[in-house]
Structure 1
Amino acid sequence: MTFGNFTAEVSKWKFKEVGTSIWLESKPGGCAEIYSDLLYNKKIQDPFLDMNEDQVQWVSKCQWEYETNIEIPRIDNKEKYKLIFEGLDTFATIYFNSEEILKTDNMFLKYSVFVQPKLTNTIRIVFGSALNISKMYEHRHGKLKCWNGDPSRVYIRKAQYQYGWDWGPKLISCGPYRPTYLISYQSHINDFYVHGDVHEDLSIVSGYIETDIETDTQVVISMEVRSPDSIETVLHLKKPVSGSGKFLQEFSILSPKLWYPRGYGSAALYHVTVRLISKTGNIICQVHKHIGFKRIQLIQHPFLEQSGTSFYLQINNIPIFCKGSNWIPAHSIPSSVSKTDYKQWLNSAVNANHNMIRVWGGGYYESDFFYNNCDRLGLLVWQDFMFACGQYPGNLKYFVESVSKEVAYQVQRLRNHCSISMYCGNNEDYQIAEAYNLQWDKKNHTGDYAKTSFPARTIYEKIIPELVAKYHVGIPYHPGSPWGGEKTSDPTVGDIHQWNVWHGTREKYQDWYKLGGRFVSEFGMEALPSYSTFMRCISEISEIYPQSLVVDFHNKAAGFESRLASYMFENIRLRTMDMKSWIYATQLMQAECLGYAIRSWRRNWKGKGKRYMGGILIWQLNDCWPVTSWSLVDNFKTPKLAFYAAKREYRAIAVGVQRQGNELQVWCVNDEGSKENITLSLDIYEVFSGQLIEHYEMYNITLEANSSSEILSNYELPSDGPMVANASIIHKDEVLANYGDWPQPLKYLQFCKRSIKLEVYDGYVVISTTMPIKGIELITENNLFFEDNGMDLFPNKEMTVSCPELKHTDTVTIRHYE
């Protein structure tokens, strides 16, 4: 895109501590943050390594100064010059050629200011200590309630996780963490927005293109819309204008190609270009975006046979079961996340059969590159506003004004991204209100709660929804997560965070089927990351053992020792406590836990009028540093076994087995169209010997479209001994879904010696066995990615597992449960 006559972007900063005289060179790239820059200059030890986090806390208590020069080719008095900061973290005073031009106090805003430049210009930014400033506000206004991190964090508009979380370090950063540039122009496109309403029968999309321009002369706004394949120009609209302002141009497209989430259709994106054309026909500037059109509804209808209401998305008239994970910031230092990192993380979500990502409210609003990739990949985005686990001061004028600007800016920035499917006011702030008995009168809908101890309700229930309704018409808004019903834990209305496994009452994960809700937007289980990850974050190999001080330091969850040990020793037998065995055991337990939940809950997607559950979001997809956490994929992008469990259970067609005493129930969930002439194959094996005890087949089954189907009920196991049931869904000799249900807990199972035949080829392996085997992990020394792992294997069911980078000369080792 071109903005005007020229754009000069900062590519390099220098920095120093305020009050000192020695300047240091910032890390190249134009986006800078203090921890990254100090590390680049070897002034601090890597805070991700060992226990170095404790040694760098002084950094957040200091003030830091950044400086750079921008050169421009010429000065033209007819042109305007604007200095733009895409992101400043957080309290900054900006000087341009020694003149103070701007002060900032919100990390989540874009700032711009007109300047009068020279050929060479100096930009200097002084960053105050966010920690000291938040403490000052706390001293002035009082200590507020929160979970995680220093409670003073709630007073400032900054990424809250930087204050420390139960999966992340305390690294309270500062700096120009997103691009800074100077532009010149006579006529300029600030932005454009394409709003399209899709007709109920999907036959037409009609709406308008709103273009925000600055100009002192007559220009023509040219709007070109090309088809998703770029072959056809669908629209070419022109609008002559004179002077600055926001201009609307209506449009309509017949038989549009709509945007669908993954698994339900193509993520079609139209190519839209807006240009300003001069009187002489020259292009002054142009902006290009990819735009998708969808019809979206949040369905909250009462049920005939159960209490409460549904909670699911319907897109282009199709009910969507949301399958995904929560997204936390991908790094504790935001500027350290590259475009390659974003692509790899989001591709991992796609690989795990996700169709939704929830951008969690304790981090930051992600870059346009992140949302562009969600658009392209067909990933729905549940977008939190940046409030998490706190009692925010919604009664303070400065805070409310800053939040209002932030929400207006972010909604206008995000609204062109068709992946945005829901806005949510906050994360767990209503739970804070419940936990600390804050004043929350559910019958009071005035929108004015400033005089209560829960004043942020005004933000969540008035300010944000009004701004969403104004700037992003038609997108569902949910006041908080969790929210709905008489309590935030009400499983019959809205969404819930189901933490009674791990936190809360610490239920057995085999009881997940009792613990569902209309939409579970958080749940999870901890597991250690890979051994290779510990090798990269712990310098002394003698410290890499299960109960080491440094290993424990890389786990920020309160009480994790007892909780992890409790679930481990309730479920998994440990024959040895060496580190690799401990890692495998925790990852197997996490995989079993998440698999149980997804399998049980998807069963409740029962079709029209009975969609008792509308979505599952695992806590969490990713990590921001090397840590033991609830993530599916660790900081170095190495998948845990739970990643593969989620991938299997999130498949479009999946089979489930529920064991009640000595009887089995079998069901299948199908996200696709109706499928007929399906066969259920059920093999029952004795666990210890591996002997096949019984084979059962059921024919001519129909899998209902976009719903679950009950297939078999009250199937009695042939004996009282430990039996494993392997259920397969087959259509025309193709296995559509497969699952092995083992007696629980696994720790009581006894096995005779198992053997696995392994054949290694370029790009794949083939494995087979003569006995049922639980939790097969394929391992290579160079940590290659297998398309499946941690799987169960059954006799006469050879399995081919893809591994694109594998060579037939590579050594592949196997670990399994025994």
Structure 2
Amino acid sequence: MTNHAAPSAQPTICRLSEGWVMELTAPGAFASPSDITAVEDFIPAFVPGTVAQALEAVGRFDRAHPMPLDDRDAWYVLRLDEEPGDAVLRFEGLATVAEVWLNGDRVLVSQSMYLSHDVAVHLQGDDRLAICFRALGPLLNKKGPRARWRPQMITPPGVRLFRTTTLGRMPGWCPEVHAVGPWRPISVIRQAKDQPGEARISARLDGQGCGHLAVRIDHAEGATVSCAGASAKVVNGSAVLVLPGVEAWWPRTHGKPVLHDVTLEWQDQHIVLGRTGFRQIEVDRDADGQGFGLKVNGVPVFCRGAVWTTADIVSLPGGREEYRPWLEKAASANMNMIRIGGTMAYESAEFFKLCDELGLMVWQELMLANFDYPASDETWLADLKQEVAQLLDRTSASPSLTVVCGGSEVYQQAAMLGLPESVYKSDLTETTLHELVREHRPDCVWVPNSPCGGAMPFSPNSGVTHYYGVGAYMRPLEDARRANVRFATESLAFAHVPEQRTLDKHLPVAPVHDPRWKARVPRDRGASWDFEDVRDFYLKLLYDIEPERLRREHPGLYLDLSRAVTGEVIETTFAEWRRAGSSCRGALTWTFQDLLPGPGWGLIDATGRHKPVWHALRRAFRRLQVMLADEGTNGVDLHVVNDFGATAEVTVELVCLRDGAVPVVSGRRDLTLEPHSVSTIAATELFGAFFDTAYAFRFGPPSHDVTVARLIDRVSGGEIASAYHFPLGRSAARRDVTFTLELVESDQGFALDVSTDRFAQNVQIDVPGFEVSDNWFHLAPGRAQRILLSGDGKPSGEVRLAGGRCVSRF
């Protein structure tokens, strides 16, 4: 019934993860565990875990059609077989109103799912531990301080009075799975006499590149703490180390995320206390003082990534192995930032440790969203302050924690309802929480709310914004520039269509009009449109076709173009934001993963499979990148980005093609890209003479239908990146092609070389049982593109265009 672990901290920690049973009862049916007589009727339970998880395991819960879980009490019981003696019971997270009983005595009452509790107990050797999670539903009718505004998004309004997640309480956004149960570990902790206690590690890098490390640890007086070649003695429970020239931690796009072991020499023991990294974070406000960007170790970093939801909406897992596949996908997509929004739930220390290793910065919001919170309630405020302190302390060693933010859309919600700034800008986010962050994580940037900073808190041209001009508000693509976006902590939400294999297995229904399909399409509560309508708007805009007619007459083509169009919009928008001269210093997409299989917001579907849009995002986020920008009568500009900390020797090529095959004009140039730089070259500079690349002057019929830019490694000759411009629109460049395929085998596995006789738009590669390194890409003639295939055995599959056209098999 216990899992023994001996981590770097010295106390013996035994996880109570086995032997639990659980059952639901009517609210208040049992006042205490002594009233329970029939434990044999209980079902096995997971700890850490949730009520929904336990019920799902025995077929009593359907995440696609969830039943309410907050209208009953949930009892968890464990027969505890531990050695007698003094110990500490640690409860790292109980969702939400919980009572803990040991041998019939109530030892803890908690009203926050985010708090960790240590309870000193005396174990007898044959103990009974019980936890009752009281029905939250009836408590949500409790009256609190009067709210000055009420959001539509989160229901019921009484949620604001309790420290619990809004996941499962946002109709249209996510499945209504209520978080109930011991969602974080429960442990027995024993502190041996004269043994070092648990350590708190904090690190920072100053402006001269010197590292500073502070370690607090009890019961280790006189021991030696070491890190990166420096050492110091523990004096009065702490050790301070200064490390000149220490190797710094970088986000993965701009350098190596270097971590250093922190060790303790105590008596004859060599103990690893943990790992940390040294980095400096600054805010870049731009010359006009209105911007927002991050400098890491003195270098401006374009932040890109996505908004995290959860690794699983039912179990809310917090283990390394549950996080790993998701975060590794984020890293492989060239992301450098993950945002945990205020509508989600705090993740465990393991999440941050993986982000440390992968070089992913974390924008962490406090779990405050949209509501007018009861900050005048002393109990509520004390729980909030304690949860924030615990969050910052348990991640104190993590360089990945970069920004701490006071919540999501609290300012925006009030402002959009017409309330003045004096109402929604409160001491809670402007002062109280800021002071907590300064005390516990002074190395992090504080942002009062997301969004905030402009004439209106949601104005994109100042501070941080939630940008949906391109997206939900169905503005033309040019709005991404016109809005003068500075930093978008969320943006570009669409109902992204998964691969057909996911639909065939998990949602085998006709798209769009089947109610089962529509139930998986995200929407804002009360709105007359959903995010499929948004996608269809851009399908018509980019491909000049009627989505409704296409859906009726060519459903396969409709789905394929729907898969392609959201990626096209994202690539085009990020090319605008990353170009030289852009005001934008970062943007995160909404969201990283789906919670159910279907056309959700996620870049990755709920099964863990990449959606087509994921490949587009990965290309948009490349560290060495070439982009094309249509500047009208100024022509077409090339923008070349080098995020790396070293120079890059490259060649840029530009060619305009007629009928997707015939070169009309071309040019090339060798470049030495400086570290962390963006370079701009006008197309006419490469051509050596005027050419209407953008087809802006329109003197006579158009001479070409696609312009292709390539960025080539000058040493290896391999293609690094490519970009495309369509002067007549994407539909004019769509035509049938002939593919040439060659399957190549090496010590590293199989690869597929794909070439074409003319420009091919939205090339799809389908290799059952294999992951492909790129997909849903454009391909120009004249150079084969090598696609790496990851899987077991010899691959076979096909390459095709949208709608199943031009199929070639291998």
Q: TM-score, normalised by structure 2?
A: 0.87
2:475 aligns to what? 507
Whether 1:479 aligns to 2:448 is yes
2:642 is the alignment partner of 1:670:
yes
CA contact (8 A) 1:143 1:152 kept: no
* Equivalent position of 1:631 in the other structure: 602
Separation in structure 1 between the aligned mates of residue 135 and residue 72 of structure 2, nearest angstrom: 6
After superposition, where does 1:149-548 map in structure 2 within 5 Å? Answer: 149-150=154-155, 151-164=157-170, 166-187=172-193, 191-202=198-209, 204-211=210-217, 213=218, 220=221, 222-227=223-228, 234-239=229-234, 247-274=237-264, 281=267, 288-303=273-288, 308-336=289-317, 339-441=320-422, 452=423, 454=424, 457-504=426-473, 506-524=474-492, 525-538=494-507, 541=508, 543-548=509-514
1:41 is matched with which residue?
58
Q: Tell me the equivalent position of 2:586.
A: 615
- For 1:694, which of 647, 660, 664 is the aligned residue? 664
Alignment of 1:559-578 (within 5 A): 559-560=529-530, 561-572=532-543, 573=545, 577=552
Kept in 1, the 8 Å contact 2:21–2:45? The answer is no
Deviation string 1:511-535 (CA, Å, 9 cap, x unpaired) is: 4232341212211132222333334
Q: 1:137 to 1:334 in 2, by over 3 A?
A: farther
| 3-state SS, counterpart of residue 618 of structure 2 | helix
Does 1:749 pair with 2:732? yes
Among residues 18, 22, 28, which one is paired with 1:15 in the alignment?
Answer: 22
Aligned to 1:449: none
Q: Do the aligned partners of residues 765 and 161 (structure 1) sit closer, same or farther apart at CA in structure 2, a change above 3 Å counting?
A: same
User: In the alignment, what sits opposite 1:446?
Assistant: none
Once the two structures are TM-superposed, the CA of residue 788 in structure 1 deviates from its matched residue by 0.6
User: Any residues of structure 2 matched to 1:64-143 within 5 Å, and which?
Assistant: 64-75=74-85, 80-137=86-143, 141=146
Report deviation, 1:731: 4.7
- The one of 34, 45, 70 aligned to 1:60: 70
Matches within 5 A, 1:584-603: 584-603=560-579
Q: Which moved more, 1:695-704 or 1:517-526?
A: 695-704
How far apart in 2 are the matches of 1:370 and 1:268? 17
CA contact (8 A) 1:381 1:419 kept: yes
Shift of 1:253: 2.0
Report if aligned partners of 1:10, 1:68 keep a CA contact under 8 Å in 2: no
Deviation at 1:598, TM superposition (A): 0.5
The answer to whether the Cα contact below 8 Å between 2:320 and 2:354 also exists between their aligned partners in 1 is: no
User: Is the counterpart of residue 758 in structure 1 residue 745 in structure 2?
Assistant: no
Matched-pair contact (CA < 8 Å) for 2:405–2:446: yes
Whole-angstrom distance in 1 between the partners of 2:272 and 2:112: 27
Aligned-residue offset at 1:770: 0.5
Q: Which amino acid aligns with 1:43?
A: R
RMSD over aligned Cα atoms: 2.7
How big is the shift at 1:776?
A: 0.6
Residues 588, 775 of structure 1: 8 Å contact kept: yes
| Matched residue, 2:778 | 792
Distance (Å, rounded) in 2 between the aligned partners of 1:104 and 1:286? 34
Determine if contact 1:162/1:170 at 8 Å carries over to the other structure: yes
State the alpha-carbon separation in 1 of the partners of residues 292 and 394 from structure 2.
Answer: 27
CA contact (8 A) 2:536 2:562 kept: no
Contact kept, 8 Å, 1:510 with 1:593, in 2: the verdict is no
User: What's the offset of the Cα at 1:141?
Assistant: 4.5
Paired residues of 2:21 and 2:42 also in contact (CA < 8 A): yes
Post-superposition offset of 1:462: 1.2
**Contact 2:74 / 2:134 at 8 angstroms: preserved in 1?**
yes
Structure 1: distance between partners of 2:670 and 2:15 = 67
Residues in 1 aligned to 2:614 and 2:540: alpha-carbon distance in whole angstroms: 22
The one-letter code matched in structure 2 to 1:489 is: F
Structure-2 separation of matches of 1:769 and 1:501 = 32
Q: Distance in 2 between matches of 1:95 and 1:157?
A: 22
Write the letter of the residue equivalent to 1:85: F
Return the alpha-carbon distance in structure 1 between the equivalents of residues 279 and 441 of structure 2.
13
Alignment partner of 1:778: what SS?
strand
Asked if residue 716 in structure 1 is aligned to residue 695 in structure 2, the reply is: no
Distance 1:557 1:745 in 2: 29
SS of 1:621's equivalent in the other structure is coil
Corresponding position of 1:726: 708
1:380, CA displacement in angstroms?
1.0
Alpha-carbon spacing, 1:143–1:27, altered in 2? closer, same or farther (3 Å)? farther
What do residues 619-646 of structure 1 show as CA deviations (whole Å, max 9, x unaligned)?
A: 1211222242222111111112221111
When normalised by structure 1's length, the TM-score is 0.86
* 1:739 aligns to 2:710 (yes or no): no
In 1: Cα distance, 2:736 partner to 2:567 partner: 24
**By how many angstroms is 1:225 displaced?**
2.5
**Aligned residues between the structures:** 755
Q: Give the superposition deviation at 1:568.
A: 2.6
What CA deviation, in whole Å up to 9, does each residue of 1:489-547 have, x standing for no partner? Answer: 3334311111122323x202354232341212211132222333334434xx4x34332
- After the TM superposition, which of the residue ranges 82-91 and 556-565 deviates more from structure 2? 556-565
Unpaired stretches in structure 1, ≥5 consecutive residues: 228-233, 242-246, 442-451
Instruction: Give the gaps of 5 or more residues in structure 2.
Output: 1-6, 30-35, 685-690, 696-700, 806-810
Distance 1:388 1:126 in 2: 27
Show the counterpart of 1:556. 522
The 1-side partners of 2:205 and 2:646 are apart by 26
Structure 1 counterpart SS, 2:501: helix
The Cα shift of 1:208 comes to 2.6
The one-letter amino acid of 2:208's match is D
Summarize the Cα distance change of 1:396–1:67 in structure 2 as closer, same or farther, 3 Å threshold.
same
Contact 2:705 2:728 in 1 (8 A): no
2:664–2:704 contact (8 Å) kept in structure 1: no
Aligned-residue offset at 1:422: 1.1
Return the alpha-carbon distance in structure 1 between the equivalents of residues 141 and 729 of structure 2: 48
Q: 1:526 to 1:26 in 2, by over 3 A?
A: same
C-alpha distance in 1 between matches for 2:364 and 2:385: 17
CA distance in structure 2 between the partners assigned to 1:301 and 1:562 by the alignment: 36
Q: 1:175 to 1:223 in 2, by over 3 A?
A: farther
Q: Percent identity?
A: 20
What secondary structure, in the 3-state scheme, does the structure 2 residue paired with 1:528 have? coil
> Quick one: distance in 2 between partners of 1:240 and 1:721?
77
The question of whether the paired residues in 2 share the 8 Å contact of 1:633 and 1:640 is answered with yes
CA distance in 1, matches of 2:164, 2:798: 46
Instruction: Work out the CA distance in 2 between the residues paired with 1:545 and 1:699.
Output: 47
Aligned to 2:153: 148
Asked whether the 8 Å contact 1:632–1:642 carries over to 2, the reply is yes
- Give, in whole Å, the separation in 1 of the partners of 2:703 and 2:141: 62
SS at match of 1:466: helix
What per-residue deviation string (whole Å, max 9, x for no partner) do you get for residues 253-304 of structure 1? 23312111113222111111347x5xxx476x9662111111221122424x
Q: In the superposition, relative to structure 1, how do residues 250 and 705 fare at CA in structure 2: closer, same or farther (>3 Å)?
A: closer
Question: CA offsets per residue over residues 349-388 of structure 1, 9 Å max, x none?
Answer: 1111111111111111111111101001111111111112
* Alpha-carbon separation, structure 1, partners of 2:49 and 2:40: 14
